Chain A
């Protein structure tokens, strides 16, 4: 059974600092990795996607993937109070040419302290 593990937190980071969120996954066949942000009472919002080993940067966000270690991370630079939310790591495999459901971690609750 596929598993995605995240530290539930809360992770408290001072405003302006770098927030580092981590995720490990169990299925070596996983090919797509996503970070979603979810504010309390709202639905998940896509932040980043990554498919290849290495780093992918988008504004203040950097996703890092290491398939050998089955590890995905998200760095948030210059953290803002508006970044306070739960961050969900999601993993998808591909089988039979069709799409696969996303497997989610339980999420890390991030708090940016002003």
Chain B
């Protein structure tokens, strides 16, 4: 079974621009979660989408947004980029089941550099 895929793998943008990242979950998985990883803050939860609806949200400003399509693929958008947005953005997919056993599997990530 194919794993989680993310595109693009690397991006270089300048301050003030916007960026869109894409994630395709494992086949059969309906939940997609997004995380930001930086050396200083570690891995931080951005938001989770399930059945095209944002189900959970972390503590990030409104510049970070996302959406999910009917095929469970998800996109994340960051507007008005800041230098501090440079990070590895990770997507994780899961079945999205209620209860404790739902397990997330990570994609390879998108490395975003903001100049």
Q: A88-B43, A99-B55, A102-B45 known; A44 and B103 CB under 8 Å?
A: no
Taking CB as reference atom, which chain B residue is nearest A86? B42
User: Number of contact residues on B: which range applies?
Assistant: 20 to 34
Question: Given the complex, which residues of B lie within 8 Å of A100, measured CB to CB?
Answer: 56
Taking CB as reference atom, which chain B residue is nearest A100? B56
Q: In the bound complex, do residue B33 and residue A101 qualify as a contact, i.e. CB atoms below 8 Å apart? A: yes
Question: Given the complex, which residues of B lie within 8 Å of A104, measured CB to CB?
Answer: 35, 42-44
Question: Given the complex, which residues of A lie within 8 Å of B88, measured CB to CB?
Answer: 43
Q: Is the interface of B mostly helix, strand, loop or mixed?
A: strand
Q: In the bound complex, do residue B109 and residue A43 qualify as a contact, i.e. CB atoms below 8 Å apart? A: yes
Chain A residue total in the interface (Cβ 8 A) = 26
Stretch at the interface among A17-25, A74-82, A90-98: A90-98
B98: contacting residue among A34, A44, A90, A97, CB under 8 A = A97
A94: contacting residue among B45, B50, B100, B107, CB under 8 A = B100
Question: Given the complex, which residues of B lie within 8 Å of A94, measured CB to CB?
Answer: 98-100
Taking CB as reference atom, which chain A residue is nearest B92? A102
- What is the CA–CA distance of A102 and B33 in the complex, to the nearest angstrom? 9
Taking CB as reference atom, which chain B residue is nearest A103? B45
| Interface presence of A106 (CB below 8 A) | yes
Chain A residues with a Cβ under 8 A of chain B: 31-32, 34, 36, 42-46, 49, 51, 88, 90, 92, 94, 97-107
Chain B residues with a Cβ under 8 A of chain A: 31, 33, 35, 42-45, 47-48, 50, 55-56, 58, 88, 90, 92, 94, 96-109
Given contacts A98-B98, A99-B55, A107-B42, 4 further A-B contacts (CB under 8 A): A43-B88, A98-B55, A99-B33, A100-B56
